[in-house]
Amino acid sequence: MSRLGRRSFLALAGTGGVTAAVGAAAVAAGVDRAPDAAPASSVVPFHGDHQAGIVTPAQDRLHLAAFDVVTDSRDQLIALLEQWTDAAATLTAGGSLSPDAGYDSPPTDTGEALGLNAANLTITIGFGAGLFTKDGKDRFGLAKHRPAALIDLPHFPKDALEPARTGGDLVVQACADDPQVAVHAIRNLARIGFGTVSVRWSQLGFGRTSSTSTAQATPRNLFGFKDGTANLKAEENDALAEHVWVGEDGGWMAGGTYLVARRIRMHIENWDRTSLREQEQVVGRDRTEGAPLSGGTEFTEPDLARAGNDGAPLIARTSHVAIAHPSRNDGVRMLRRGYNYTDGSDGLGKLDAGLMFLAFVTDPRTHYVPMQTAMARNDALAEYLRHTGSGLFAVPGGVTPGGYIGQRLFEA
């Protein structure tokens, strides 16, 4: 699979079998009118110490897919990861998968992103518990390498997980500023994996709900509030090392991280019937500015102790800000990278809308389970939420050219 830009593909196709049908004029026009290669600014480098799509400034759109591996062949699994790595490098550079298959074969690239630029596409690949053992079987000889941190998430209070939205042996997160580019990436990876993997679930996210860079404005979630103000940012290197990346003692996971994926249905109709005062007290911030109710502006540190005239804390102890605050959670922070979703209606006259929560953490045992337990139990916001899908994935470190994602696991 060679790495051709989408422009090159057009030129190539124009000189190939297509010519016979459409004539030389069309070929010339095709080349002349081909869109330019993606501008450099829209390309996120694929290779590096860490996979892209984690500290990359959050793109606008998401397509996330979890796959079941349907083969027991270790070689076939490795071949898939090699192919996915190769394809991801091509697609994130704005290229099309090479069309050398010929006119009488199916096109190698499905084509719906022809003419679009890379749109900051990132492709991030992770491994679920099922890759290590599934139904008690060690299909790929990987069981002994399952990291202790790749736990089976406990059942949290109020969880309402649907099996068809939960789990997966592999996950691929495609983020881009153009949804067609993200969908194209997932679709082509699914296609490459035909016979090796099958799509278990997939989720489109139409708008980012978190900033992962200080250069980004804080977006709003479907409760109408700014979300992710206190998020870890790409610029906080020390904090990333502490809270996101697996350290050098992490074996094959060194330089990796864990992705917690939770599909959280938001009961927006109930929320919409709640007074602004109540909404702000539930969140612990004002809606307009996103400032903590203890005063200041959006980026002012919340003062959980500050009391109002009535002696009660201005930020209620059960508010989302208080429950999630590092001071109440042993200082842990997470890198959130979630997306708003809307999936039609729920069959009961309401929109099925919410948050595809995505967070990257160094260890979910310390950085997710305790906080989610507290939130599900005590967070006033939990009344308006229902977790309907869930996945936990070990996301290995990045690759250099010639390597493939997860190679250190298979060579461990």
Asked if 63 and 186 touch (Cβ cutoff 8 Å), the reply is yes
Smallest CA-to-CA distance from 131 within 263, 252, 254 is with 252
Give min distance, CB of 280 to its own copies, in A.
7
For its own copies, the closer CB: 122 or 209: 209
Q: Which residues of 178-202 are buried (b: 16+ CB within 10 A; e: fewer)?
A: bbebbbbbbbbbbebbeebbebbbb
For its own copies, the closer CB: 113 or 323: 113
Structure tokens at 405: 């994602």
Structure tokens at 159: 């969880």
For its own copies, the closer CB: 41 or 275: 275
106: buried, middle or exposed (CB in 10 Å: 19+, 13-18, 0-12)?
exposed
What is the length of the chain? Answer: 412
Judged by DSSP in three states, 84 sits in: helix
For its own copies, the closer CB: 274 or 329: 274
For its own copies, the closer CB: 164 or 241: 164
Give min distance, CB of 29 to its own copies, in A.
4
Give min distance, CB of 207 to its own copies, in A.
4
Smallest CA-to-CA distance from 185 within 380, 222, 193, 280 is with 193
Dist. CA 32–CA 77, nearest whole Å: 41
For its own copies, the closer CB: 64 or 149: 64
Dihedral, CA atoms, 136, 404, 263, 347, nearest 10 degrees?
Answer: -90
Q: Which residues contact 326 (CB under 8 A, 6 or more apart)?
A: 332, 333
Asked if 395 and 257 touch (Cβ cutoff 8 Å), the reply is yes
For its own copies, the closer CB: 181 or 332: 181
Give min distance, CB of 310 to its own copies, in A.
12
Give min distance, CB of 255 to its own copies, in A.
31
Angle between helices 6-15 and 18-33 (to 10 degrees): 140
Give min distance, CB of 350 to its own copies, in A.
6
Asked if 131 and 393 touch (Cβ cutoff 8 Å), the reply is no
For its own copies, the closer CB: 235 or 269: 269
For its own copies, the closer CB: 215 or 276: 276
Give min distance, CB of 194 to its own copies, in A.
7
Give min distance, CB of 162 to its own copies, in A.
11
Give min distance, CB of 401 to its own copies, in A.
28
Structure tokens at 338: 């979630």
Structure tokens at 38: 């993606």
Dist. CA 102–CA 87, nearest whole Å: 18
Dist. CA 124–CA 144, nearest whole Å: 24
